[in-house]
């Protein structure tokens, strides 16, 4: 009888998943913190963090990654915003097919897309390197910028646009005074989906630069893969996590409603 | 509508305007003239085209046919941002990224008004709408009523020549709505701006307007002062839509004499054909009810009696079986035998548009006619051949309605119900988009999907 | 006005061209038997026949990788769908502050870059002393797929009449019967898109798998391709494989999209 009562309450149906989340999401993230402050033998230490600040190579890669990520993000906004705007404007385009074509590449394995970029550069006889890296990253992440912006503009209540026209705004003014300010949450969410993954990318930079340039993700991966530098790797992951946390908190105030509606 | 002496009095002239979205005609030949400073209400049920008409005036949609003039200037092709009119939107449409002050200043800023002037104007309108000290508030922190006031302030700050209001009070609760009605009326008086107000609430329309425009199915039914619309409705739709009413079939015996409910009544209407079929409207408060006596015109029995606050609302079944709605300050017990009196001036007689259905069709063969989107069986008519275009006449009571669409030769949706005292007069919009009418004792609801059956012997077929 | 439209359209099509050119090149060069892209040696289906007759360089490993990928995706997507649908109903009916906190945790795997998810799970398995292999990869995939299932089921719940579950109980159904006969039919479209989404995500995953697959030789397609690319240059047969995968993913997404645009129309 008691079991039946427990089942009856629908809120209890989430208990299995709640336990699962604790075990496979919360606990693992805490473990990153635990490992970051430990030596190989398990005693408490801060050496992993001092090593990060002192080892110029890692620090340089870190700064370089942020630079590359910034450039990639800016390019994605510059190229993606007009595309998203055109796609959401029913006077300029029709139908969902075009939108779908833009979103589709999002679902193709990022390794494959990077290899395809290499193929394109080979085909055009272009040198792989930094240029290829930035092109590849923009190519990989552009759909992730277009989609949230498109989604936000799409959801802007038509009556805001009419109200602005009614109050005397021309087409250009409707855009600058209403549509653009209201689409900012979409841009913020796009930045989240481009900037963070770019810093943490690994494998892609090696493929696109023939191992010449490495991003922060690659350093983390290298250290994680060897048991004697695992704790250092955990410390680098923790730094990454802190960046994620800061960016998320900064942007969440603007983009609360964005998670509705799913990805497709 | 009364014709004004000078045409220059008109601020807005809507001239034979029609509007279609694809195949669907939403407005059908609308002509409307609005005088400067007038409070005009466009009233009608949802889907009657009233909002479309307002959007045409604001410039958000373009007319399919006809023209719109503002102070004699053709503005049909002028975009909304260049029309000196402002709109108060149904759900306010306040910009969520701007605060109260910035919302109100939006239009002024676009006109490059100096910031001192903007400041002065914003404060002026905030005072008018009673929202002083709310400048810095975020719009989503305001209640519905407050948002409504900001929306009005945002519109009137631009000193428009015409203020368009699209069901502005629909989202407010009853108490708030009543208060805002009075405030809007007061604002209209003080500002001297022409108001064009769209609503589906007849009471709101009667309370606020100088002129009411009643619309249904994309057409204007009647234009007039609130008292005229209430006392002299031109057709059963208007009579039914505005206030409570008893609508009955009658026959005009001669000038000032009309027969209905098996009784001849004196009335004040003239100019009908002898024995012309008419609709008679009597408002429930215009029927005098008293204990049974022999000098009265009608006798009946009280069937129900409900206390409505000020008056009692009763239904009385007459001895001839007609059901009447009556409002009176005195209470009569259910089952009590009563007598009724109706004064000649309280009887309003309306010309009937149709006495029977006249349906356009085409003969499929000698015994089948295609009409209303289906094929009906009919009797062979001499001289009518297959393929010929015909008009089929069917009396209203001869149209049978079926629960299941496949039981009828055609199908449709009940779109309007009129109780005629002893039967229902239904309008059915067929799937082919035509209207046909049926008289029935059965109870149907608005929106019911029905099959339509007509017996072969009930059709009269003529060549078209 | 018209010029504006032409400009806008050309911009979109130019972007699409750039977006699809690399994929197109891979597909084109999958039909020629040459060592590297850019070198056309006449039309041939060799790369496809090699792939299926087992004559490619690492065909054994390729087969195993394909089988592993599909197996893992099916198991992970099924588990995620069941777990996530049940959870979505639970979360939807929860009260604050529990609702907010579980939604917050549910968002974490979607916000975190794959590498962080991978590393955190890697550390979990290492510290629990679990040998990594199929089980760990599947658990990891369930962990990052389920949030998306929750996300695609929730909108259906929002649209559902809140009283129908109570109505079923009132008419004598047990909670389980009510779930099966009343709630599942309502959220089914969301569950199906959730499943397809989870399946696609699982097939696509690279980073999480890399960190949780262990060192006992378990490879999925992504990790195999990664290893192959690392050795320098792509095995030519992978071009035909990649083309097949592109087409499969494309078809899956079109189905998914049709479903969702249909449900949009139904509204």
List pLDDT tens digits, range B249-280.
Answer: 999 999 999 999 999 999 998 888 888 999 99
In chain C, positions 136-175, which contact chain A (CB-CB < 8 Å)?
A: 139-140, 142-143, 146, 148, 150-152, 155, 165, 169, 174-175
pLDDT beyond 50 at B157: yes
pLDDT of residue C263: 56
What is the pairing mode between strands B368-371 and B374-377? antiparallel
End-to-end CA gap in chain B: 35
pLDDT beyond 80 at C1: no
Interface residue of A91, A155, A163 to substitute, partner B, most B CBs within 10 Å: A163
Give the Cα separation of B256 and B264 in Å (integer): 10
Q: What is the mean pLDDT of residues C73-77?
A: 94
pLDDT beyond 70 at A109: yes
Cβ distance B81 to A169 less than 8 Å, yes or no, reads yes
- Number of domains comprising chain A: 1
Grouping H, G, I as helix, E, B as strand and the rest as coil, residue B250 is strand
For residues B86 and B28, state if they share a domain: yes
Q: What is the mean pLDDT of residues C133-160?
A: 89
Cβ distance A168 to B89 less than 8 Å, yes or no, reads no
- Number of domains comprising chain B: 3
Instruction: Report residue C122 as tokens.
Output: 């890697």
Q: Which of B240, B239, B127, B274 is nearest to B191 (CA)?
A: B127
A203: left (phi over 0), alpha (psi -120 to 50) or beta: left
B168 touches chain A (CB under 8 A): no
pLDDT of residue B411: 92
Crossing angle of the two packed helices C237-266 and C2-28, in degrees rounded to 10: 140
Contact (Cβ atoms closer than 8 angstroms) between residue A77 and residue A180: no
Confidence of residue B13 (pLDDT cuts 50, 70, 90): very high
A140 touches chain C (CB under 8 A): no
With a pLDDT cut of 90, the percent of chain B lying above it is: 61
The CATH code of the domain that includes A149 is 1.10.3720.10
Confidence of residue A256 (pLDDT cuts 50, 70, 90): very low
- The residue whose two tokens read 């690399």 is C22
A170 touches chain B (CB under 8 A): yes
Last residue of a domain, one of B325, B351, B377: B351
pLDDT beyond 90 at C232: no
**pLDDT per residue as tens digits for the range C234-254:** 677 778 888 887 787 778 777
What DSSP designation does B81 have? G
A26 in any annotated domain: no
Confidence of residue A1 (pLDDT cuts 50, 70, 90): very low
B437 in any annotated domain: yes
Confidence of residue A13 (pLDDT cuts 50, 70, 90): confident
Contact (Cβ atoms closer than 8 angstroms) between residue A128 and residue C229: no
Q: Give DSSP secondary structure letters for B141-184.
A: GS-HHHHHHHHHHHHHTT--SEEEEESTTTTS-HHHHHHHHHHH
pLDDT of residue A263: 38
Give the Cα separation of B253 and B273 in Å (integer): 8
For residues B372 and B332, state if they share a domain: no
B1 in any annotated domain: no
Query: Mean pLDDT score of chain B, rounded to an integer?
Result: 90
pLDDT of residue B210: 94
B2 in any annotated domain: no
Number of H helices, E strands in chain B: 8, 30
pLDDT of residue A260: 38
Residues 6+ apart with CB under 8 A from C67: none
For residues B82 and B205, state if they share a domain: yes
Cβ distance A107 to C249 less than 8 Å, yes or no, reads yes
- The residue whose two tokens read 């350093």 is A219
For residues B139 and B215, state if they share a domain: yes
Q: What angle do CA B199, B230, B278 make, to 5 degrees?
A: 120
pLDDT beyond 80 at C185: yes
Q: Which of C84, C36, C56 is nearest to C224 (CA)?
A: C56
What are the chain B neighbours of A184 within 8 Å (beta carbons)?
A: 97
pLDDT of residue B4: 47
Which of the pair, C230 or C141, is modelled with greater confidence? C141
Task: Give the domain range for residue A129.
Answer: 71-254
For residues B288 and B302, state if they share a domain: yes
Q: What is the mean pLDDT of residues A228-255?
A: 80
Confidence of residue A264 (pLDDT cuts 50, 70, 90): very low
Q: How far is CA B429 from CA B329, B426, C140, in A?
A: 40, 10, 59
Q: What is the mean pLDDT of residues C4-10?
A: 87
Q: How far is CA B440 from CA B246, B378, B437, in A?
A: 17, 22, 10
C122 touches chain A (CB under 8 A): yes
For residues B120 and B164, state if they share a domain: yes
Contact (Cβ atoms closer than 8 angstroms) between residue B166 and residue B87: yes
pLDDT of residue B233: 92
Q: What are phi and psi of B318, to 5 degrees?
A: -75, 165
C38 in any annotated domain: no
Grouping H, G, I as helix, E, B as strand and the rest as coil, residue C70 is helix
Contact (Cβ atoms closer than 8 angstroms) between residue B425 and residue B443: no
In chain A, positions 125-164, which contact chain B (CB-CB < 8 Å)?
A: 157, 159-160, 162-164
Instruction: Report residue B453 as tokens.
Output: 């059956």
Q: What angle do CA B312, B318, B321 make, to 5 degrees?
A: 125
Say if A and B touch: at least 3 Cβ pairs within 8 Å: yes
Q: Give the start-end residues of each E strand in B1-48.
A: 10-21, 24-35, 39-43
Q: Minimal Cα–Cα distance from A171 to chain B, Å?
A: 9
B177 in any annotated domain: yes
pLDDT of residue A255: 44
What are the chain C neighbours of A224 within 8 Å (beta carbons)?
A: 119, 122, 211
Q: What is the mean pLDDT of residues B306-330?
A: 92
pLDDT beyond 90 at B122: yes
Cβ-nearest to C12 among A93, A96, A263 = A93
How many other β-carbons are positioned within 10 Å of the β-carbon of residue A77? 18
Give the Cα separation of A144 and A70 in Å (integer): 15
A35 in any annotated domain: no
The CATH code of the domain that includes B389 is 2.40.50.140
Q: Minimal Cα–Cα distance from C55 to chain A, Å?
A: 22
What are the chain A neighbours of B159 within 8 Å (beta carbons)?
A: none
Q: Give DSSP secondary structure letters for B179-216.
A: HHHHHHHHHHHHH--EEEEEES-HHHHHHH-SEEEEEE
**pLDDT per residue as tens digits for the range B191-246:** 889 999 999 999 999 999 999 999 998 999 999 999 999 999 999 999 999 988 99
Q: What's the residue count for chain B?
A: 464
Contact (Cβ atoms closer than 8 angstroms) between residue A148 and residue A191: no
What are the chain A neighbours of B79 within 8 Å (beta carbons)?
A: 165
Residues 6+ apart with CB under 8 A from A87: A93, A98, A99, A102, A146, A150, C12
B448 in any annotated domain: yes
Cβ distance B80 to A182 less than 8 Å, yes or no, reads no
Task: Give the domain range for residue B402.
Answer: 357-463
For residues B18 and B152, state if they share a domain: yes
With a pLDDT cut of 70, the percent of chain C lying above it is: 91
Confidence of residue B32 (pLDDT cuts 50, 70, 90): very high
For residues B251 and B337, state if they share a domain: yes
**pLDDT per residue as tens digits for the range A232-241:** 888 888 988 8
A12 touches chain C (CB under 8 A): yes
Instruction: Report residue C117 as tokens.
Output: 């998810």
The CATH code of the domain that includes C234 is 1.10.3720.10
Bridge partners of residue A256, in order along the sequence: none
- The residue whose two tokens read 């409707």 is A174
A44 in any annotated domain: no
**pLDDT per residue as tens digits for the range B123-146:** 999 998 888 889 899 988 998 889
pLDDT of residue B297: 81
- Chains with ≥3 Cβ pairs under 8 A against C? A
Last residue of a domain, one of B203, B236, B269: B236
Contact (Cβ atoms closer than 8 angstroms) between residue C94 and residue C82: no
pLDDT of residue A134: 92
Confidence of residue C260 (pLDDT cuts 50, 70, 90): low
- Number of domains comprising chain C: 1
- Chains with ≥3 Cβ pairs under 8 A against B? A
Task: Give the domain range for residue C83.
Answer: 68-266
Alpha helices in A107-203 (DSSP H): 110-123, 130-155, 158-166, 171-174, 180-200
pLDDT of residue B303: 94
C48 in any annotated domain: no
The CATH code of the domain that includes B46 is 3.40.50.300
Last residue of a domain, one of B327, B351, B375: B351
Crossing angle of the two packed helices C59-92 and C184-204, in degrees rounded to 10: 140
Q: Minimal Cα–Cα distance from A21 to chain C, Å?
A: 7
B339 in any annotated domain: yes
pLDDT beyond 70 at B1: no
Q: Minimal Cα–Cα distance from B400 to chain A, Å?
A: 44
**pLDDT per residue as tens digits for the range B164-193:** 999 988 888 888 888 889 989 999 998 889
Query: Mean pLDDT score of chain C, rounded to an integer?
Result: 83
**Residue of chain A minimizing CA distance to C168:** A8
pLDDT beyond 80 at B2: no
pTM summary value: 0.79
Question: What's the order of all strands across the beta sheet hosting B424-430?
Answer: B400-402, B449-453, B410-419, B424-430, B435-440
Which of the pair, C132 or C73, is modelled with greater confidence? C73
pLDDT of residue B339: 92
For residues B339 and B418, state if they share a domain: no
pLDDT of residue B7: 56
Confidence of residue A258 (pLDDT cuts 50, 70, 90): very low
For residues B29 and B160, state if they share a domain: yes
**pLDDT per residue as tens digits for the range A56-105:** 888 888 899 899 999 999 999 999 999 999 988 877 666 677 888 887 77
Confidence of residue B93 (pLDDT cuts 50, 70, 90): confident
Cβ-nearest to A109 among C8, C206, C211 = C206
Q: How far is CA C148 from CA A260, A261, C137, C143, C180, in A?
A: 11, 11, 18, 10, 22
Give the Cα separation of A169 and C174 in Å (integer): 59
Whether the link from the prior residue into C25 is cis, omega within 30° of 0, is no
pLDDT beyond 80 at B67: yes
Q: What are phi and psi of B163, to 5 degrees?
A: -110, 125
**Residue of chain B minimizing CA distance to A182:** B97
């Amino acid at each position: 009888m008691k079991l039946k009562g427990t089942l009856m309450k629908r809120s209890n149906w989430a208990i299995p998943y709640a336990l699962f989340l604790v075990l496979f999401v919360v606990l693992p993230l805490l473990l990153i913190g635990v490992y970051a402050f430990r030596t190989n033998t398990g005693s408490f230490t801060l050496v992993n963090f001092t090593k990060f600040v002192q080892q110029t190579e890692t620090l340089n890669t870190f700064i370089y990654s942020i630079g590359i990520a910034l450039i990639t993000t800016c390019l994605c906004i510059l190229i993606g915003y007009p595309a998203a705007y055109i796609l959401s404007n029913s006077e300029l385009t029709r139908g969902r097919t075009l939108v779908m074509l833009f979103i589709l590449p999002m679902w193709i394995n990022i390794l494959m897309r990077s290899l395809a970029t290499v193929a394109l550069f080979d085909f055009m006889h272009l040198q792989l390197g930094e240029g290829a890296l930035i092109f590849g990253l923009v190519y990989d992440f552009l759909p992730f910028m277009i989609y949230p912006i498109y989604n936000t503009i799409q959801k802007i209540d038509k009556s805001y646009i009419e109200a602005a026209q009614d109050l005397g705004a021309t087409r250009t003014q409707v855009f600058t005074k209403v549509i653009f300010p209201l689409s900012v949450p979409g841009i913020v969410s796009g930045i989240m989906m481009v900037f963070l993954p770019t810093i943490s990318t690994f494998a892609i930079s090696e493929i696109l630069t023939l191992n010449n340039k490495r991003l922060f993700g690659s350093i983390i991966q290298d250290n994680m893969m060897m048991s004697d530098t695992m704790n250092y790797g955990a410390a680098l992951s923790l730094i990454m996590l802190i960046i994620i946390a800061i960016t998320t908190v900064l942007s969440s105030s603007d983009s609360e409603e964005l998670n509705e509606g799913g990805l497709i | 509508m009364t014709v004004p002496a000078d045409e220059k009095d008109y601020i807005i002239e809507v001239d034979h305007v029609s509007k279609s979205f694809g195949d669907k005609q939403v407005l059908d030949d609308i002509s409307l003239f609005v005088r400067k400073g007038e409070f005009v209400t466009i009233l009608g049920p949802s889907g009657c085209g009233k909002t479309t008409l307002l959007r045409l005036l604001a410039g958000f949609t373009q007319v399919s046919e006809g023209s719109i003039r503002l102070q004699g200037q053709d503005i049909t092709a002028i975009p909304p941002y260049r029309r000196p009119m402002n709109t108060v939107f149904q759900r306010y449409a306040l910009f969520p990224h701007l605060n109260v002050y910035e919302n109100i200043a939006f239009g002024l800023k676009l006109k490059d008004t100096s910031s001192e002037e903007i400041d002065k104007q914003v404060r002026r309108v905030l005072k008018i709408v009673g929202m002083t000290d709310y400048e810095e508030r975020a719009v989503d922190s305001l209640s519905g009523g407050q948002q409504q006031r900001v929306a009005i302030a945002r519109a009137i700050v631009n000193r428009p020549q015409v203020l368009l209001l699209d069901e502005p009070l629909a989202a407010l609760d009853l108490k708030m709505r009543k208060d805002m009605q009075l405030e809007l009326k007061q604002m209209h008086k003080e500002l001297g701006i022409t108001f064009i107000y769209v609503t589906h609430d007849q009471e709101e329309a009667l309370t606020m307007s100088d002129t009411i425009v009643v619309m249904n199915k994309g057409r204007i039914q009647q234009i007039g002062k609130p008292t005229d619309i209430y006392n002299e409705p031109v057709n059963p739709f208007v009579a039914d839509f505005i206030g409570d009413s008893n609508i009955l079939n009658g026959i005009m015996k001669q000038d000032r004499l009309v027969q209905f409910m098996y009784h001849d009544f004196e009335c004040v209407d003239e100019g009908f054909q002898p024995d012309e079929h008419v609709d008679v409207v009597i408002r429930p408060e215009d029927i005098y009810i008293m204990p049974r006596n022999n000098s009265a015109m009608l006798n009946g029995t009280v069937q129900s009696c409900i206390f409505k606050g000020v008056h009692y609302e009763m239904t009385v079944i007459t001895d001839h079986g007609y059901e009447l709605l009556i409002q009176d300050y005195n209470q009569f017990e259910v089952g009590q035998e009563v007598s009724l009196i109706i004064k000649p001036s309280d009887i309003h007689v309306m010309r009937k548009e149709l006495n029977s259905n006249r349906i356009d069709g085409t003969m499929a063969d000698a015994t089948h006619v295609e009409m209303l989107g289906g094929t009906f069986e009919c009797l062979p008519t001499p001289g009518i051949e297959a393929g010929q275009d015909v008009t089929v006449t069917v009396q209203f009571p001869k149209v049978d309605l079926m629960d299941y669409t496949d039981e009828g030769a055609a199908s449709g949706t009940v779109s309007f119900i009129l109780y005629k005292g002893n039967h229902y007069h239904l309008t059915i919009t067929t799937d082919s988009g035509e209207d046909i009418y049926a008289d029935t004792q059965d109870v149907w609801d608005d929106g019911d999907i029905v099959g339509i059956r007509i017996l072969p012997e009930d059709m009269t077929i003529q060549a078209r | 006005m018209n010029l504006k439209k032409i400009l806008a359209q050309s911009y979109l099509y130019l972007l699409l061209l750039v977006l699809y050119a690399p994929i197109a090149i891979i597909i084109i060069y999958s039909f020629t038997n040459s060592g590297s892209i850019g070198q056309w040696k006449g039309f041939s289906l060799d790369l496809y026949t090699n792939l299926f007759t087992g004559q490619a360089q690492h065909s054994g490993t390729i087969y195993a990788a394909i089988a592993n990928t599909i197996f893992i995706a099916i198991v992970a997507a099924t588990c995620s769908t069941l777990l996530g649908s049940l959870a979505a109903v639970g979360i939807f009916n929860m009260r604050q502050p529990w609702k907010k906190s579980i939604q917050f945790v549910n968002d974490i795997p979607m916000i975190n870059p794959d590498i962080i998810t991978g590393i955190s799970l890697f550390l979990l398995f290492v510290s629990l002393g679990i040998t990594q292999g199929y089980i760990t990869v599947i658990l990891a995939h369930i962990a990052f797929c389920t949030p998306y299932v929750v996300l695609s089921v929730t909108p259906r719940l929002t649209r559902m009449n809140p009283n129908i579950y109570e109505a079923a109980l009132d008419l004598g159904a047990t909670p389980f019967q009510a779930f099966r006969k009343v709630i599942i039919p309502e959220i089914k479209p969301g569950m199906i898109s959730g499943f397809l989404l989870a399946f696609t995500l699982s097939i696509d995953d690279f980073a999480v798998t890399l960190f949780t697959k262990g060192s006992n030789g378990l490879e999925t397609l992504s990790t195999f391709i990664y290893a192959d690319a690392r050795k320098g240059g792509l095995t030519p047969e992978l071009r035909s494989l990649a083309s097949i995968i592109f087409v499969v993913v494309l078809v899956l997404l079109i189905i998914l999209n049709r479903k969702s645009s249909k449900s949009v129309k139904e509204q």
